[in-house]
Structure 1
């Protein structure tokens, strides 16, 4: 499979849209967790999102195959991209601040670059990619600010869980490459169905004594937004981006999420944008530019022409 080293304008647009959709999930989870246990939220997220995707697939005349060869790789994707990271992150955030968790999550592109070097033939590491990821990670740390590092002495197991979640996300991005010949709708629907089947026994095991009760309207709306917007729509974008731009470029969304969160706060909540946020976003922009590589290649060609 051929993967473009540089993303098109459409790819960048989809990546930014995904960062907005996934950035909003933190708000939805924050509201829902006030009334629902985390495993229940994860189960509702994949079940409702999966139902919506299967319904859309059915209305469009698409049927999910009933073969082991089709479902086995989908199940692996569900484990790497949903079951492992979502449960690890949910548990870890009971021990560490959300800002520190975001910094750990932003390590996903670094893991992706390193893993892609070993596991792929067409997404090899370059100096620009590695430098760009490091710049982007530094930008996220600056953007979130020193307050996030207040949890740096927190439970080492929680920090290890966050690193494991980032590694799992990176592996899932590379694994998703094998679905490039499948319609994104079918892949996303299958992933949510498999995640739902696995989350049912996990939820029963983690919250055995929980008694269901009707949550309030804010919680219901938050869960629906989390399932339909952040999950169903979000994963349609995921498989489109992987198919056209590759796993490394998809992982850049973890660098963009803090940026969109800050900008949404400025636009929607009338929050102020301080100098630290500006420096952080500038570092992230430099990192993304280095990873994209087009400007560097143009400068290199211009220098070669100038010395010829």
Structure 2
């Protein structure tokens, strides 16, 4: 019972943290570009975790190092840029709703590459979830086709999340959560600094108030929404399994929508109805027979 309560506590905390991440991205992009915000997010996460990286390097088995780095790339690095670029054209609330498709991609990737068994119920759940997605991006859903490319970026990010969840759950059960996050993000420090340099961040007036506030928002996003959240997520995957961990996306869209409404974004009844359909599909995918 105590383990279940702890797992649900992790679930709630992650929903709040990641649901708030979408509005922090928007805040960061008030002044900075999508590449700046994503890079600062990953960089700040890496810097915070440096003290843990030295111990992690000794404790993580050598044959798992490549998987740890790959987990950082698939679970954080690439999705950070994909979400930021997507939010240059779509609302943060919509990005949060689309993120609810992560469990569906988790089950599809598990079936295709990780020998996860699927029954009729799970297949129906996947079909319902994708039906909700199709309705969401339909013109009658108040989403124009000029935004479709950016919507696809979010879907690609959720696919990468699904791959990462399965990989961590299958191949890294014996690796500590802090060790995974510390090594993954410390490795990503150098590439993010390079990206910041070539995208002109260091040539900005860094002492200007707006630049400082956007940088602060991006740093908070990295420390809370990436470093701390990744440790908690890896912990949840190993404690409760891949499917339960992917169910965090039940809570994320509702938090993201609430922040979006508070920030003045337009959230339609059509979008909320489509979210309900997507979550119904997710429920069937995760429901035990």
TM bracket (short chain): 0.7 to 0.9
Question: 1:163 — aligned with what?
Answer: 155
Q: Which residue of 2 aligns with 1:184?
A: 177
1:202 and 1:247, CA in 2 relative to 1: closer, same or farther beyond 3 A? farther
Query: Normalising to structure 2: TM-score of the pair?
Result: 0.78
Contact 1:108 1:251 in 2 (8 A): yes
Looking at structure 2, the residues matched to 96 and 282 of structure 1 have their Cα atoms a distance apart, in angstroms, of: 20
Conserved? CA contact 1:184–1:236, under 8 Å: yes
Cα 1:80–1:265 change in 2 (3 A) is closer
Q: Structure 2: 5+ residue runs without aligned partners?
A: none
Q: CA deviation at 1:20?
A: 0.8
In structure 2, distance between residues paired with 1:67 and 1:25: 32
- Which moves more between the two structures, 133-142 or 248-257? 133-142
1:3 counterpart residue number: none
Match of 1:205 in 2: 198
Single out whichever of 195-204 and 180-189 deviates more from structure 2: 195-204
Query: CA contact under 8 A between 1:100 and 1:151: conserved in structure 2?
Result: no
- Structure 1 residues 23 and 141, CA gap change in structure 2 (3 angstroms): farther
Number of aligned pairs?
281
Give the number of the structure whose alpha-carbon radius of gyration is greater.
1
CA distance in 2, matches of 1:284, 1:134: 9
Q: Which is helix-richer, 1 or 2? A: 2
2:35 matches 1:39: yes
Shift of 1:196: 2.0
Aligned residue runs from structure 1 range 71-220, under 5 A? 71-121=65-115, 123-133=116-126, 149-177=141-169, 178-207=171-200, 210-216=203-209, 218-220=213-215
CA distance in 2, matches of 1:218, 1:201: 22
1-structure distance, mates of 2:231, 2:272: 31
| Alpha-carbon displacement from aligned partner over 1:226-276 (angstroms, at most 9, x marks no partner) | 12211111001110121123333333223421123346789x99xxx9987
Residues 73 and 164 of structure 1: is their aligned pair in 2 closer, same or farther, counting only changes over 3 Å? Answer: same
- TM-score norm. by structure 1 comes to 0.73
How many Å separate the matches in 1 of 2:5 and 2:64? Answer: 32
